[in-house]
Amino acid sequence: MKTEIRKKHVHLPLDYRATSRDADYTRSSWVLYSYFMLKILEQVNFMFFISFQFGMSWMTLCYLIEDYRGTDYSKSYGEYPATFLTYFSLYDKTDKENAILATYYAYTSLSTVGFGDLNPRDDIERVFIAFMLLLGVAIFSLVMGNFIAIIELYNEYESDFNDGN
């Protein structure tokens, strides 16, 4: 059995073009808005990823410093200086808490906010953080530049769309 598709003749109202244009405008602006929100979310996700990577690198460095010094340090140099892990009692916390704390520390350091609640306690840690801060400024500048470019592009598209170009 063959099914026929019949086209119905639809009588459109006189103001159909205006209604259709408004619907197209709403749909197009929603797609445009969604695209740019996804681009912004991509930048935020990138910053979280970078902060997490720096945080885990920081924790790895702290554990390496502790392992390198070991127990012989106190015999050779006297009292054992506090490091990031010992000063902030990170050995008493779970791995999940340490990951959150390290990511928070990396994010506040990379963004140059640096509340001062967490800080390096040893010279090796300070040298690593100095390089991390230099790299962090470059990364945050890149992300902010991308963020501004996204906003400018959105404004350009929105103005072109409103002008009917």
What digits encode the pLDDT tens for the residues 39-72? 999 999 999 999 999 999 999 998 888 888 765 5
Token pair listed for 95: 């791995």
CA-derived radius of gyration, the chain = 28
Place 22 in a pLDDT band, splitting at 50, 70 and 90. low
CATH code of domain 44-69+82-163: 1.10.287.70
Give Cβ neighbours of residue 107 (< 8 Å, ≥ 6 apart): 47, 48, 51, 55
User: Smallest Cα–Cα separation from 122: which of 164, 71, 163, 88?
Assistant: 88
Match 């506090």 to its residue by tokens.
Answer: 82
pTM: 0.72
Does residue 7 have a pLDDT over 80? no
**pLDDT digits 0-9 by tens, 68-121:** 876 555 455 556 667 888 888 888 899 999 999 999 999 988 887 878 888 888
**pLDDT digits 0-9 by tens, 27-36:** 777 888 888 8
- Rounded Cα distance between 89 and 6, Å, is 77
**Domain locations in the chain as residue ranges:** 44-69+82-163
Please state the separation of Cα 91 from the chain's center in Å: 28
Does residue 11 have a pLDDT over 90? no
Q: Count CB neighbours of 99 within 10 A.
A: 15
**In the prediction, which pLDDT does 19 show?**
55
- Rounded Cα distance between 165 and 151, Å, is 19
Place 12 in a pLDDT band, splitting at 50, 70 and 90. very low
